[in-house]
Structure 1
């Protein structure tokens, strides 16, 4: 009888409980986190390690971004295509079943916990869109849900499933204590629910610049739309500067010559003199230490082999180009 399942693992309490409950019943469970350019595995990896789970991380950035451009069921909060996202992840998990020698999929979804995306109609829509819904078990609520193949075939005993529903957390907290689970926080980490991030991504979409390479830059710094073709990203702190550098974007990099300060990145390598001066003046604006005028070094491949002298950009002009701070 099939005894191995893939679990969609977010790092939130419910996904941990779903894994522990099925393990408690004797099933072998492989937790999988599906990462994208705006969905990061760091928290899930930490939670898995704290609770003795080996987490498989798969990057589906390209597929997720393609889905995000035209979600069949639209967006929830900001740019989060909740139903389409869950459907895609179940679809991807189903493709992994032969590779991992698993037979069905489990999720930590709880009926009614999120009224818009975890009501019965939404769960049915997720299952239908994925094409693999008949292989899905939701252990925390399965007693309240229609039977799927693992139950019909006798792989999973429905009487051993749970009947948790609604937004209360008391039963989950009791189970967490029973299993000795050390992490009790909700899941998180999807930037598509963040208002400022969504503004940046919408800007890329409006300008048909939502390539994966451009999307990866959105998590770092302040963002400015200088022309229809050109953006400027300015680091807010040392971590942002390092993050911008880490993306290895093929643009024009700028920094203040004589003092430590923000790193700027133009998304083209050969801007006009007007755009270059504007970008340099904005970078200079964000240094309290630098005088005005001052020299800004710039170059491709982070070589900073040229320089330009500019005044700090007036704040009212700067604000007119700002997408988000």
Structure 2
């Protein structure tokens, strides 16, 4: 399993160093927890095949009711690792592989990388004896590939804990340069995103695609079944448009520079469109001016654009602090 980070890249290196044929798997999540660009570059540098597996809708139960619970935010780390290992195992069987390996380091992360948690992942994934953590193998029981001599346990590193000094030394040895820097990455570990995601999940979600846009911009709940995502810069504006679903409305200023808004609701009214447009103007340099028309269209129907006059007064009722809520009003 290759995340694009240093540890998983090193795991690939130490096994290749033993002449083992390595195939990498990247699980693509819409809220981070990995770097696909870096993973592809590392796979290219190491000349190993990489399979990108998009997160499936079968992940949704993990977001709502994980067996091993959440961390400090909305992060179901143990259940998430089990899910990823199961996906890697499916690929292992497809290519007739012998075992799954990860870049996990014993004791590096408080929730998911304790010895106890690593054991849970092994049992729940159905891969007992066939998950190798090459960086910390000496701190764990020998696996089947080690006992069978496929992997030489004595040639594996002995890394544990939170210090990364040993990893950086190995990175220099193997000439690794294109890995993502450690720390963070998964939005599920961030409190405000967790509140945002929980707010949407609590009202019913049937596909992972419905959650993809939640990692972007400012979040406003207009009603029980309607919310707006508002971009904060050009990159987020483009991301919001790219992640819009067919039924979403895109509101975009053209007569003045301002953010793009995405409106999602069961039944979209002109009043909702006007309030979403009002948020666009409020978060622009035209805030103090009279309402100026913006363009709105649904999904990819850019040939059916309509003009909407912003409701600045109506929009101002939804301007609350991140993570706070007043009835149905929320921004984060």
Q: Which residue of 1 aligns with 2:67?
A: 72
Q: Which of 136, 149, 161 is residue 156 of structure 2 equivalent to?
A: 161
Aligned length: 317
Distance 2:303 2:234 in 1: 19
Q: After TM superposition, give the deviation of residue 159 of structure 1 in Å.
A: 2.3
Q: After TM superposition, give the deviation of residue 83 of structure 1 in Å.
A: 0.9
* Aligned 1:105-120 pairs, distance under 5 A: 105-120=100-115
**Stretch moving more, 173-182 or 79-88:** 173-182
Q: After TM superposition, give the deviation of residue 22 of structure 1 in Å.
A: 0.8
Q: Which of 49, 56, 59 is residue 61 of structure 1 equivalent to?
A: 56
TM-score, with length taken from structure 1: 0.88
Q: Answer yes or no: is 1:323 the counterpart of 2:331.
A: yes
Q: Which residue of 2 aligns with 1:312?
A: 312
| Contact kept? 2:241, 2:250, Cα under 8 Å | no
Q: Which of 192, 197, 201 is residue 201 of structure 1 equivalent to?
A: 197
Q: Which of 128, 136, 139 is residue 133 of structure 1 equivalent to?
A: 128
Q: What 5-or-longer segments of structure 1 have no aligned partner?
A: 1-7
Pair 297,76 (structure 1): closer, same or farther in 2 beyond 3 Å: same
- SS of structure 2 residue aligned to 1:29: coil
Pair 74,270 (structure 1): closer, same or farther in 2 beyond 3 Å: closer
Q: Which residue of 1 aligns with 2:217?
A: 221
Distance 2:38 2:59 in 1: 20
RMSD of Structure 2 on Structure 1 (CA)? 2.4
Q: Which of 276, 284, 288 is residue 285 of structure 2 equivalent to?
A: 288
Q: What 5-or-longer segments of structure 2 have no aligned partner?
A: 321-328
Pair 27,78 (structure 1): closer, same or farther in 2 beyond 3 Å: same
Q: After TM superposition, give the deviation of residue 288 of structure 1 in Å.
A: 0.8
Q: Answer yes or no: is 1:271 the counterpart of 2:268.
A: yes
Q: Which of 144, 162, 185 is residue 149 of structure 1 equivalent to?
A: 144
- SS of structure 1 residue aligned to 2:4: coil
| Contact kept? 2:244, 2:262, Cα under 8 Å | no
Distance 1:315 1:16 in 2: 47
- SS of structure 2 residue aligned to 1:37: coil
**Stretch moving more, 42-51 or 201-210:** 42-51
Q: Which of 162, 175, 184 is residue 180 of structure 1 equivalent to?
A: 175
